[in-house]
Amino acid sequence: MTDIPFRTARELRAALGARELSAREVVQAHLDQIERVNPDVNAVVTLVAERALAEAAAADERAARGAELPPLHGIPVAHKDTHETAGIRTTFGSPLHADHVPERDELVVERMRAAGVISIGKTNVPEFAAGSHTFNPVFGATRNPYDLSRSAGGSSGGAAAALATGMHPLADGSDLGGSLRNPASFCNVVGFRPSIGRVPSWPAPLGWSGLATAGPMARTVADAALLLSVLAGPDPRSPIALDEPGETFARPLDRDVRGLRIAWSPDLGGSVPVEPEVADVVEASAKVFGDLGCVVERDCPDFAGADEAFRILRAWQFAVKYGPLLDTERDRIKDTIVWNTEEGLRLSATDVGRAEVLRTELFHRFREFFTRYDFLLLPVSQVPPFDAELEYPVRVAGQDMVTYLDWMRSAYFVTVSGSPALSVPAGFTPGGLPVGLQIVGPHRADFAVLQLGHAFEQATGAAQRRPAVAR
């Protein structure tokens, strides 16, 4: 039983299907791991143990009857606390919603539960998922399992820390400016930002907007692909959902990578400052691909306009979502959210139109870049995990970070391009802090990105290094 929390989701599903393990055993083992480890890292903030064990018992009864079992039968998951879950408190990390209990699941949770997932609780987030450091006034900060004095990243920071410490084998997350990728990098797990529309969103007041997306997190690329096979696929409630069925991502990821053309850059072509210990890991990762037989060159697309486009479109979305709250709840909202919302309220139609033009231009530069290369390697984050007592890093590689967004450019520049992007464990700093590699591919080449990440993962074994707090 003691090894259950660190088995992969695929291994657990195989054991459950063969009746070598029961769903009750699997759920209880993860609940025990939460009891042991969560007080140190504060990743799971709402727990529904009795409900989860009752669902596990029902799953075992279905298996005993010989019923066909769904693809994630018996797999326990604590959902991101910005994803609404029927009957389970969902706070968004905000005191405004501290006691909010939804009456229905949102689409990603609905799909996971239909696939057999057993909901065991919720994972911590920054307030309204704003910022790549997980802390809020409702539950406090999530700690990095590799160094409890450091940040676990965000906004899916609770999910990443829970994965790294064996509290659950899969996690749902979301990503606007890096919220799947950054915490994965900080916690030595896998986070995948799919192409827009790959994972539909509902409810979504900005249903036509294409900056944010939900996506999978796991300890291995193969497990992330397994979860994506459940999350992806069309839905009539989303006007931008892609038609390709999710089952596409359940296929084996093995691929001969010899001859692939791969570009890499430690600093996005000089457009962002990056701490040297992070850049060193990116350079070492590029050499791994050379050893695998890829043709590797130092090169990067032009990211001109990415910063302006992202900040305008993000601020516009904040104005839509949180603008009405400023009149009545300003004092109960984090200062950075108030600032970002006010930035959006000051925008003109011309500003938003210019951002869309810049975004389109970047998309076409990426499209042309990927006629010369198959993939692009970049840092996920410009810094290793930083002091958890800071709201955000104030200096990166000797340059001042003026706002809470500045240090996340290496992730959100890629957001603007529209390309799928994977954060995969790549190594550690000399001080033992995890660093992820960002693998970027052409528009909608999601499966190919996962294949390359899988090949890299198999070659390095960086993901096998577990945090001491979890043992």
**Which of the residues are catalytic?**
80, 155, 179
CA atoms of 450 and 222, how far apart (whole Å): 8
With 0-12 CB in 10 A as exposed, 13-18 as middle and 19+ as buried, what is 47?
middle
Task: Give the CA distances from residue 51 to residues 26, 87, 103, 156, 172, in Å, rounded to whole numbers and listed in that order.
Answer: 14, 10, 16, 24, 19
HSE, side-chain direction, 13 A CA sphere, residue 110: 13
State phi, psi for 431 to the nearest 5 degrees.
Answer: -85, 5
Task: Give the CA distances from residue 212 to residues 175, 293, 305, in Å, rounded to whole numbers and listed in that order.
Answer: 5, 35, 18
Residue 364: which residues within 8 A CB-CB, separation 6 or more? none
From the list 231, 146, 233, 139, the residue with the least C-alpha distance to 429 is 146
Is residue 221 within 8 A of residue 103, CB to CB? The reply is no
